[in-house]
Amino acid sequence: MAKIVAVTGNEAVANALRQVNPDVCAAYPITPQTDMMQRFSGFVSDGKVKTEIILVESEHSSMSACVGASAAGGRVITATSSQGLALMNEILYIASGTRLPIVMPVVNRALSAPLNIHGDHSDAMGARDSGWIQLWSENAQEAYDNTIQAFRIAEHMDIRLPVMICLDGFIISHSIERIEYLEDEQVQNFVGEFKQLYPLLDLAHPVSYGPLILPDYYMEFRKAQAEVNTKVPEVVLDVAADFEKISGRKYGLFETYRLEDAEIGIVILNSAAGTTKDVIDEFRNKGIKAGLLKPRLYRPFPYVETGEALKHLKALCVLDRADSFGSSFSPVYMDIASSLYPYNDKPILINKIYGLGGRDYLPEHAEIVLNELIDIAETGNVKSYKEYIGVRE
């Protein structure tokens, strides 16, 4: 029986990690993640998990400790935010290149400078090419569910890649919501026993991790890594199907909302999708065919499936809580544009940047965007392809 509770996003994810009971956790505090790892360290102190916890001196060291623990054959977790993820950057590539199935919740927060502790996707966007799988979560329930599924995806024998679970800092990490917990036993059965693959110090099967590979084989190695990524979407869907059986909750590569017959649409990640869905309902009530697509598996990005889901629209706006300085458009926009490129008939695509550094995303912002899309769909005229919204000019 599912247990219904009122908890914060951090608490929900910490509880998922407790239910999984990993072998090793390396932790270093950073707002707004701190409370998640602190709760987990409480589970360690209280003997509720058998996890070996390492309180390290920086995120560079926490991810390095995870690399060591995972290569040694453990089921390994950490969690971070913002500057912590940025500081890990070097080791993120080593974790994915070494094919270590580390699981890491990332509580999304803006990057310095200027220093800001609030919700923003710039941190995880900076890691989007690091070879990690990224699952994004609209609310505490999705963050909890994604965390449990992440272990199965990361540890799948065809995949063996690290996974980040992204949730919005403060908006989700610190807000209390109604969520449904699975039973501990259900979670443990779902994730199963951790299966080692080439652990260090297996004397019968000696291995070296991360050796120097020069031009002779480096490119073959990278191609193999790229090919593994192509297998991820299918595994994500298989795991989601199994998860539905125990939870009743359905997950895909992305979520569509009233999109099938829509003429205008919005693509938006994480918590702001919830606000947007409400506004879409209001527009639908007025007879306007609006819909939404919320990416879940953002890395590797399912280009074909996403393009298929969006190609019928007349006008589409990608709203991003991060910019990509120096490239003309924001991160998610560029992926959506790539997914639509093969089609001759495709929507007119515009880009809005919202909510940086925790700036509120309000229903009226979605209304402004939808009204603009109605106009574009009717006239074909675009006044601005990229714009910051909710900003002082």
Three-point CA angle 336, 240, 346, nearest 5°:
20
Quick check: 42 binds other proteins (CB under 8 A)? yes
Q: Are 105 and 167 in contact (CB under 8 A)?
A: yes
Of 25-33, 190-198, 245-253, 338-346, which segment contacts other proteins by CB under 8 A?
A: 25-33
Decide whether 29 or 97 has the Cβ nearer to other proteins: 29
With CB under 8 A, what is the number of residues at the site for other proteins? 24
- Give 133-159 as a DSSP string: EEEE-SSHHHHHHHHHHHHHHHH-TTT
Quick check: 204 binds other proteins (CB under 8 A)? no
Per DSSP, the three-state class of 322 is: coil
Decide whether 111 or 366 has the Cβ nearer to other proteins: 111
Quick check: 83 binds other proteins (CB under 8 A)? yes
Shortest Cβ 357–other proteins spacing (Å): 15
DSSP category for residue 292 = E
37 is written with which tokens?
Answer: 């790892």
Q: 144, exposed or middle or buried, with CB in 10 Å at 0-12, 13-18, 19+?
A: buried
Nearest Cα to 186, choosing from 252, 142, 242, 253? 242
d(CA 343, CA 140): 36
Quick check: 28 binds other proteins (CB under 8 A)? yes
Quick check: 31 binds other proteins (CB under 8 A)? yes
d(CA 125, CA 134): 10
Decide whether 38 or 338 has the Cβ nearer to other proteins: 38
Quick check: 35 binds other proteins (CB under 8 A)? yes
163 is written with which tokens?
Answer: 């996974």
Quick check: 50 binds other proteins (CB under 8 A)? no
132 is written with which tokens?
Answer: 């990690």
How many C-beta atoms lie closer than 10 Å to residue 118's C-beta?
A: 19
Quick check: 227 binds other proteins (CB under 8 A)? no
232 is written with which tokens?
Answer: 């991820």
Quick check: 176 binds other proteins (CB under 8 A)? no
Pick from 3, 6, 58, 304: which binds other proteins (CB under 8 A)?
58
Task: Give residue 25's identity as a one-letter amino acid code.
Answer: C
Decide whether 35 or 263 has the Cβ nearer to other proteins: 35
> Cβ contacts of residue 78 below 8 Å, gap of 6+?
25, 26, 27, 37, 62, 63, 65, 66, 102, 104
Quick check: 116 binds other proteins (CB under 8 A)? no
Of 41-49, 137-145, 212-220, 311-319, which segment contacts other proteins by CB under 8 A?
A: 41-49
Shortest Cβ 52–other proteins spacing (Å): 9
> Cβ contacts of residue 192 below 8 Å, gap of 6+?
152
Of 10-18, 27-35, 119-127, 311-319, which segment contacts other proteins by CB under 8 A?
A: 27-35
Shortest Cβ 28–other proteins spacing (Å): 8
Quick check: 345 binds other proteins (CB under 8 A)? no
Decide whether 30 or 356 has the Cβ nearer to other proteins: 30
Quick check: 34 binds other proteins (CB under 8 A)? yes
Shortest Cβ 386–other proteins spacing (Å): 29
Tell me the torsion sign for CA atoms 349, 118, 27, 10: negative
Decide whether 108 or 330 has the Cβ nearer to other proteins: 108
d(CA 257, CA 337): 20
Quick check: 141 binds other proteins (CB under 8 A)? no
Binding site for other proteins (CB under 8 A): 27-31, 34-35, 37-38, 41-42, 45-46, 53, 55, 57-59, 83, 87, 112-115
